[in-house]
Structure 1
Amino acid sequence: MAKKRFIAGAICPACKQQDTLRWWQENNIEMVECVACDHTDRRLPQAAENSEHIADDKPEQVIGIFKPE
């Protein structure tokens, strides 16, 4: 299980309380959760967010990145 860390000074976008957000990574996806109101947010690392695959002039969303170990 990933270690969850609080984000000092961060304000929850949902309930506006400060110092209630905790962060961790799960399968290379950044997770943020508010312990006060249970608001959650997920995002890919910036390298994956900025990449798009274009096929037939339509951008496709990246689902995940394979990293062999």
Structure 2
Amino acid sequence: MTVRKKKRFIAGATCPQCKAIDTLMLFLENNVEKVECVSCGHQMAQPEPQVAKAVRNSETMIGVFKPE
């Protein structure tokens, strides 16, 4: 069974990688907002709120470990 994702284009947005205008689409995947450029395939994802709050300005986060 194929799950269709509703994709919306972001008017006036510029891709940070290829600099193309009006090529970014926004969609939800596993309850995470993602943006993808249809021109070059560059992807970005919005971090979860608890991850965004845990980031400190003077450090670089590589990932989040969630033991189960």
Q: With the length of structure 2 as denominator, give the TM-score of the two structures.
A: 0.65
Tell me by how many angstroms 1:43 deviates: 1.8
Aligned 8 A contact 1:48 1:62 in 2: no
Total equivalences in the alignment: 56
Gap runs ≥5 in structure 2: 55-62
Partner secondary structure for residue 37 of structure 1: coil
More strand per residue: 1
Please state whether the residue corresponding to 1:50 is helix, strand or coil.
helix
Matches of residues 46-57 of structure 1 in structure 2 within 5 Å? 47-52=49-54
Deviation at 1:50, TM superposition (A): 3.5
Cα deviations by residue, 1:30-58 (Å, 9 ceiling, x for unpaired): 1111011111111235x334344xxxxxx
Separation in 2 of the partners of 1:11 and 1:17?
6
Question: Which position in structure 2 is the counterpart of 1:41?
Answer: 44
What TM-score, normalized by structure 1, do the two folds share? 0.65
Q: Please report the RMSD computed on the Cα atoms of aligned residues, expressed in angstroms.
A: 2.3
